[in-house]
């Protein structure tokens, strides 16, 4: 398992458009990928390939999220998803 923590930097957070970009990127990988809002405790990790579940995190601007993946491309998956968040989804 590979894990990284990052902060949502775009002003509108993970709303519909950024969430759809995030999910599209996550679906490129074979690994099982989860994301969680670190402020909500340990048990709120959701499937990063589900836009509905991703939107339930309530990850607004400044929210710290943990992305974890398990599988053959876990490092590439996590690094790619962290990068997309850290670029602010082009906003």
Domain formed by 2-90, architecture: 2-Layer Sandwich (3.30)
Please state the domain extents for the chain. Answer: 2-90
Residues classed as catalytic: 15
Overall average pLDDT of the 81-87 stretch: 96
Instruction: Write out the DSSP string of 72-84.
Output: TTHHHHHHHHHHH
The position carrying tokens 């499937």 is: 47
| φ, ψ for residue 47, nearest 5 deg | -65, 120
Chain segment 25-72, per-residue pLDDT in tens: 999 999 999 999 998 877 789 999 999 999 999 899 999 999 999 999
The position carrying tokens 């309530």 is: 58
Overall average pLDDT of the 79-88 stretch: 96
- In this prediction, residue 89 has a pLDDT band, given cuts at 50, 70 and 90, of confident
R_g over Cα of the chain = 11
pLDDT at position 30, please? 98
Overall average pLDDT of the 2-29 stretch: 95
């Amino acid at each position: 398992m590979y894990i990284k923590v990052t902060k949502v930097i775009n002003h509108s957070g993970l709303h519909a458009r950024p969430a759809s970009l995030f999910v599209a990127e996550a679906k490129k990988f074979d690994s099982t990928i989860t994301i969680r809002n670190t402020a909500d405790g340990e048990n709120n990790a959701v499937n990063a390939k589900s836009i509905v579940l991703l939107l339930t995190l309530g990850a607004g601007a400044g929210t710290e999220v943990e992305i974890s993946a398990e599988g053959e491309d876990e490092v590439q998956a996590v690094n790619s998803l962290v990068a997309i968040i850290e670029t602010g989804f082009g906003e």
